[in-house]
Chains A and B, each alone.
Chain A
């Protein structure tokens, strides 16, 4: 069992991700933007992060960049889960040391497989 932080500003998606992860036997933390996600990271030290890219306040790339500077985030697996496909954004994701890039719609089995593999 891993502790996974799921970050998305769309509540319906957050709920589905949480449901998927819980059914996989994982402990789930939720946040609706990068600012909340940073607080969760500092306070609850997840084993893995799955984050949306386009979000208000602090987007997924900014969040990952900030999280890498935190003790809890330095070597943490952090995946982006997004509708975006632009290479320029993927390059930016590599720069901020994201672990990987998933395009929506998400596949529940794939998500659980990745948690097993990376967390």
Chain B
């Protein structure tokens, strides 16, 4: 598992939203221009930015978390994983014909499902990051559902911008988002960073 990869899970029909849906796993992202597909993901402490170009209906979402602060020689740069997750999503939308000036976003997740040892919760940090990022980049944030104790299943329709949020019972939230804990371990341990190639 890398920090951010294009999603490879298979589409399925979801009666709850009466639509074919494309699932996005933790650490992945997916962009579509298909007006008949919803993009879905299950969020605990991770966050998802649902970004679309309002002019073309091209859009998608990512599913990511920031690792705990990493103190390298040059300070704390854990936010770079979030910046990276946002950049790959936005770049893919632009490559498929989206326009940066007509992008809008909705943000979800960041609940306090994953336990952390003191300090501000990982969910809060993720939720704060995504809002700050969108503001910094001048992308309009039109709706949010962030924080709280429960995991969320979201269905995003990039063509219209509609999002359906289904909250999981608190008792199921932790088991349902087990893969997020795995992602946290991977990001924390391996701290996946880019390769260098000198020509």
Give how many A residues have a beta carbon under 8 Å from the other chain's beta carbons: 33
Give how many B residues have a beta carbon under 8 Å from the other chain's beta carbons: 31
- Determine if B181 is an interface residue (Cβ-Cβ < 8 Å): no
User: Which residues of the other chain, B, contact A23 by a CB distance below 8 angstroms?
Assistant: 73-75
Q: How far, in Å, is A95 (CB) from chain B's closest CB?
A: 10
Q: How far, in Å, is A90 (CB) from chain B's closest CB?
A: 7
User: Which residues of the other chain, B, contact A83 by a CB distance below 8 angstroms?
Assistant: 84, 87-88, 91
A20 touches B199 (CB 8 A): no
- Determine if B13 is an interface residue (Cβ-Cβ < 8 Å): no
Choice from A16, A54, A93, A98 contacting B77 with Cβ under 8 Å:
A16
- Given A10-B87, A16-B80, A98-B199 in contact, is the A108-B75 Cβ separation under 8 Å? yes
User: Which residues of the other chain, B, contact A103 by a CB distance below 8 angstroms?
Assistant: 194-195
A109 touches B199 (CB 8 A): no
Choice from A15, A54, A98, A107 contacting B194 with Cβ under 8 Å:
A107
Chain A stretch 17-33: residues in CB contact (< 8 A) with chain B: 19-20, 23-24
User: Which residues of the other chain, A, contact B95 by a CB distance below 8 angstroms?
Assistant: 54
Closest to A83 in B: B88
Choice from A11, A54, A112 contacting B136 with Cβ under 8 Å:
A11
One digit per residue, 1 when the CB lies within 8 angstroms of any chain B CB and 0 when it does not, for chain A 92-119 equals: 0110001111111111111110100000
- Determine if A66 is an interface residue (Cβ-Cβ < 8 Å): no
- Determine if A56 is an interface residue (Cβ-Cβ < 8 Å): yes
User: Which residues of the other chain, B, contact A106 by a CB distance below 8 angstroms?
Assistant: 80, 193-194
